Every structure is written in structure tokens, then in C-alpha cells.
Amino acid sequence: MNLIASVDIAHPDLALTHTIQSGSADEIRVLPQSSTDPDTGKFFFLVEGADDGFEAVLEEDPTVSEWTAVTNSSPTRVYRISHPEWTKLLSPKTAELGGLVQEAVSTDRGWSMRLQLPDREALAAVSEFCDAEGITFELNRMFRQEGWVRGEPTGLTDAQRDALLAAYEHGYFEEPREASLADLAEVLGISPTAVGGRIRRGTAELVEMVLVGE
């Protein structure tokens, strides 16, 4: 596998679309361990900045057949969620083509995903699958795995990279700071809580890849 594709997808029947569009959480992401094993029927989601009504929204979400709170501490929670069979999922098709979902993060409309695929033909097959299912599919960027390895740590997600770059460019790391999390949130179009989480996880990933690796 040596092709990485950053894509956005949207459809009312995609997993948790109702919950995402309710605005009851700042950010929802699929934990990678679950996205690589779609046959289990259960997925683990990390939820940032959920409000008091989040679980009530889960109960009303038609794409949720069962949910369990694994950890329920603020501001970050983890849920194990099952979906009815008709729910539209991209991970099974990706796995069928010999690929995997490296990242899946909620957006205002649906999901932003980073797919690892064997080749361009597999990416074309994913696009054709989405078209057949009526899923909006937007390819944001695509690059070879070799370039990713040479250019930056493989564990750093697109969202973390964008947050870290924005923080650096706007002086968040300066002393004194020239930008707050609220400022970065406005630049990135997400909540301050989500920005802080991306910077924290991205920084930890850089430390692990660069310093711990040494």
C-alpha cells in the first residue's frame, strides 16, 4: 500500500451524520483500531467537547442501533457504537480493496477521511462506490506513501498537521503568545477545544516519532 488520499464524504445515511449535524459535539473521530476491522459491526468513536444533550442525540440518530459509553469524562469521551445494516460505511469497501482508513474526523457536512490504498485503481474504485451509493466524494489531495515517509512522520494526521502549522504561523508557540486557541479556532473553522486536542495529540506524535524514536 503506497497511496494516501485525503477525501471528504457526505450523505444523510453515513454513520452519525445526524449526530454530527446536531452540533452536540465539537469533534467526532473514529479510533483507528476499529476502522481497520469493519466486520465486527462495532466502531469506537472519540468525542471531543460533547454537550449535556449528546447522548440524547445518539438515541435519536437513525444510524445508531446500539451505543455504550466506554469513558464518559469531560471533555473527551469514547463510545462503542453499532450501526444498522443499511448505514453507509466506507471502511468495508476500503478494506475489500486492500486498503485501510487511517483517519476519519467529523466535518460540518459529514466525514473527512485519510485512506491508505494500494494504487490509483483502488482509489477510483472507492470513488465509483461512493457514486453508486449517492455519497458525495471529494478528493482533497493524494500522494505516494514514500513521499509521506520522507517528508513528515507517518503518524501525524492531516488535521493535526493543519492545526500545528496554523499554531506556528500565527505565533501560538511564541513567548508571549501571539494567538490564542480561540484565534486558531476561527482560522481553522473548528472549536477551541478541538484545536487544543489536535495540537496536543500532534505534539505528542512528533515527540514520539522524533525524540522517542532516537
The number of folded domains in the chain is 2
Residues 133 and 157 in one domain: no
Please give the pLDDT value at position 160. 85
Please give the pLDDT value at position 63. 96
Q: What are phi and psi of 179, to 5 degrees?
A: -150, 145
pTM to 2 decimal places: 0.71
Please give the pLDDT value at position 108. 86
Check: CB of residue 117 under 8 Å from CB of residue 5: yes
Residues 17 and 121 in one domain: yes
Please give the pLDDT value at position 56. 96
Q: 207: domain range?
A: 152-212
Residues 169 and 133 in one domain: no
Crossing angle, helix 192-206 and helix 158-169, to 10 degrees?
100
Here the CATH number for the domain that contains residue 175 is 1.10.10
- Out of 95, 125, 143, pick the residue that ends a domain: 143
- Out of 92, 108, 143, pick the residue that ends a domain: 143
Residues 54 and 110 in one domain: yes
Residues 91 and 191 in one domain: no
β-sheet with 76-82: strand ranges across:
66-72, 76-82, 42-48, 27-30, 100-106, 111-117, 3-10, 136-144
- Which residue has 486558531 as its cell numbers? 184
Residues 102 and 38 in one domain: yes
H/E/C letters for each residue in 7-63? Answer: EEEECCCECCHHHHHHCCCCEEEECHHHHCCHHHCEEEEEEECCCCCHHHHHHHCCC
How far is it, in rounded angstroms, from Cα 51 to Cα 19? Answer: 12
- Out of 95, 113, 143, pick the residue that ends a domain: 143
C-alpha cell at 90: 466506507
Which pLDDT tens digit goes with each residue over 125-157? 999 999 999 999 999 888 776 544 334 445 677
In the predicted model, residues of the chain with pLDDT beneath 50 are 1, 34-37, 147-153, 213-214
Please give the pLDDT value at position 152. 46
Which pLDDT tens digit goes with each residue over 80-101? 999 999 999 999 999 999 998 9
Residues 139 and 161 in one domain: no
Residues 42 and 138 in one domain: yes
Please give the pLDDT value at position 141. 83
C-alpha cell at 151: 517528508
How far is it, in rounded angstroms, from Cα 212 to Cα 48? Answer: 27
Residues 78 and 183 in one domain: no
